[in-house]
Every structure is written in C-alpha cells, then in structure tokens.
A and B are shown apart, each in its own frame.
Chain A
C-alpha cells in the first residue's frame, strides 16, 4: 500500500526549529513502522536519524510518537496505523530534549532511574550453602510486573505531569523502584520510599493513565504507582 510518512525533522546544525516533512513510501500492511522509516532513510533521505537495535520489540531503542501515541516503531505494523493512501505521523518522544530528528536525550530519564537505586541492596551474609538468596514463587510474583520494564521511556514521555515538570521522576523510575521495594530479598525499601515521597516523587502522578496505555510491555504502570502511594500513605508494605 502507498503511505505518506510525515516525520518531524530537526537538524541541529541547520534548523532553527523542528519541521514536518512528508515522504511517500510503498509498504506491505505487515511491515513495521520501523521498516517504513528505513525505506525513507535508505531510499529517500539518508540523513534521517533514529535509534533502533533489535527491531523486534524487546530492546526499547525505537520508542517514538506514532500518530500521536507512544509506541515502539518495530512493534506497530503499518496496517495498525494507516490504510492505503493514508498518512502516518512520526515524531520524537515528548518531554525530553531533542538532539536530532527522532533522537532524544535520554540522560534526564536515566538520571531519574538512577535516583531510585535500581539495584538489589542486601548486606546480610549469604545463606550457609553460600549460593543464593532463596525466594518463594509467591514472593517473586509480588514484584514480577516491574521486571518486565525495558526502559524504553514510552511511559514517562507520555505523562502530562512529566511534560509539565521534567523534574518529576516519572512512571518508569517509579516502576523500577517498585520492583525492588516489593522484592523481599531487598533491604533498602525505606531509602527508596524516601526518594519517592518527595515533591517530585510519586505524588506528581495524576492517574491520567497515559503510561499504562503507552507501555509496550503491558505493565500496569498506574497500578504499580498506586501501590507505592498506598505504601507511603499507610506506612506498610504489603
């Protein structure tokens, strides 16, 4: 089918501000949006710049805003975003600084991620057989959903609170914090909750639900954020 790919371009060396460019491409309905972007880059304009790696929905490199919604370009098929003769808009994720074309500066995102100590903290000695800290399947299940996160930033950059205030930690950082707070092998829940209890922590969440809709891993982000709020409000970890 014939599609118009309308891409927001920005070249920091020549452009004062971003601008839309439209490229007609020929695609199969089962091609990914990423395939269409490649067609533009390889056959129309080699300066189109984007991030991509695995191209099958697991590395999270190609998160971008397609038809006004955050998604992984390699997970959306052309038939999901347009009919024959239609237009698909593609632009970089919002809320983070724009470097070039579809590439944003992920540093602020990673800085928020680092601030919640996203690593297991446990200084107690290992068990006597010296191999690993054991965990029951039920205990593992408690925080399992947070482990699905691939740090693609689709959730955080879809959040109106984050657009308004980029010092807000954002859904992804909160989900990553959740993953460790509710892990019974971890001992630093208190410190992480302290970070989340601050002004720019979990309380900025407005339950807009954009994050849950945007997550390509189908993590119930809003629900996990709610569990952190509940832990802070009641003072108990369930």
Chain B
C-alpha cells in the first residue's frame, strides 16, 4: 500500500512466530534433551542423522525452522527493549536486530549447503 516497511518486518515476525509455535517445542526436546541425554542413541547416530539432514526437503525444513524465528526474535526483542526503557539509539537497535536475523539466515543457508 505505502512506503513504510514496518509491514514487512511484522509479516516476518508473524511467520517466524507461527513456525516457532508449531516446531520449536519438539525440536528443543529432541536435540536439547533427548539426544544429549542418550535416551534413543540409535536415532541420533552420526551417519543416520547426516543422511536424514542431507535430504533436500529436510534442508528446506531446517532453513525455515531456523531463519524465520530469528526474524520473530528480532522484531519482538527490538520493541521489548523500547518497552523496557530504551530511549535513544532505537534506529541502531532496529538495524542490529534485523541485521542479526539476516546474518543468521545467511549462516543457516551456508551450513545447510555444506551438509
């Protein structure tokens, strides 16, 4: 409709929040608790995981899973800082947050392409 690009960041925030809402809990359970604790060792054996993760569909899934919630964090965190009292440097904080998310998305793509 018009030129302010706030709408874009808000859409990314919404998409990232939805992805996180659906996928984050199970993911954290799997790679943060089940795998390190060694409860289902066979499932997390190196070759098996490598094969699973190398599949193009899995790579796409992982890219969406990691990069979109980063934009969700960037948008939410930037405004939360303001709510918590940040007065000056708001533009710099916005650039740092969205920039951080963009860098994170690029790094994700790089790692996923290496697999």
The yes or no answer to A206 lying at the interface (CB within 8 A) is: yes
Q: Which residue of B lies closest to A168 (CB)?
A: B82
* CB–CB A203/B10 < 8 A: yes
* CB–CB A229/B1 < 8 A: no
The yes or no answer to A197 lying at the interface (CB within 8 A) is: yes
* CB–CB A199/B4 < 8 A: yes
* CB–CB A198/B4 < 8 A: yes
B: number of interface residues (CB 8 Å): 14
Contacts A190-B1, A232-B1, A233-B11; A197 near B83 (Cβ below 8 A): no
* CB–CB B10/A206 < 8 A: no
What 1/0 mask marks residues of chain A from 148 to 175 whose CB sits below 8 Å from any chain B CB?
0000000000001100110000000000
Q: Which residue of A lies closest to B85 (CB)?
A: A164
Q: Enumerate B21-55 residues with CB–CB distance to A below 8 Å.
A: none
Bound-complex Cα distance A201 to B6 (A): 10
The yes or no answer to A235 lying at the interface (CB within 8 A) is: yes
A: number of interface residues (CB 8 Å): 18
The yes or no answer to B61 lying at the interface (CB within 8 A) is: no
Residues of chain B within 8 A of A203, CB atoms compared? 4, 6-7, 9-10
What 1/0 mask marks residues of chain A from 181 to 193 whose CB sits below 8 Å from any chain B CB?
0000000001001
Contacts A197-B6, A199-B6, A233-B11; A161 near B83 (Cβ below 8 A): yes
- The dominant DSSP class at the B interface is helix
The yes or no answer to A194 lying at the interface (CB within 8 A) is: yes
Q: Enumerate B49-93 residues with CB–CB distance to A below 8 Å.
A: 79-80, 82-83, 85-86
- The dominant DSSP class at the A interface is helix
Cβ of A236 to closest chain B Cβ, rounded Å: 10
Bound-complex Cα distance A203 to B83 (A): 14
Cβ of B82 to closest chain A Cβ, rounded Å: 5
Bound-complex Cα distance A43 to B4 (A): 55
Q: Which residue of A lies closest to B10 (CB)?
A: A203
Contacts A203-B6, A233-B10; A197 near B82 (Cβ below 8 A): no
* CB–CB B79/A206 < 8 A: yes
* CB–CB A165/B4 < 8 A: no
Candidates A161, A165, A190, A197; contact of B7 at CB < 8 Å: A197
Residues of chain B within 8 A of A201, CB atoms compared? 4, 6
* CB–CB A197/B79 < 8 A: no
Contacts A233-B7, A233-B11; A193 near B83 (Cβ below 8 A): no
Since A193-B1, A199-B4 are in contact, a sample of 4 more A-B pairs with Cβ atoms closer than 8 Å, ordered by chain A residue number, is A164-B86, A193-B2, A203-B10, A206-B80
Which residues of A line the B interface, CB within 8 A? Answer: 160-161, 164-165, 190, 193-194, 197-199, 201, 203-204, 206, 229, 232-233, 235
12 pairs from A and B in contact (CB 8 Å cutoff): A164-B86, A193-B2, A197-B1, A197-B2, A197-B6, A199-B4, A199-B6, A201-B4, A204-B79, A206-B80, A206-B83, A235-B1
The 8 A-B pairs with the shortest beta carbon distances in the complex, nearest first, are A203-B6, A194-B2, A197-B2, A197-B4, A160-B83, A164-B82, A164-B83, A198-B4
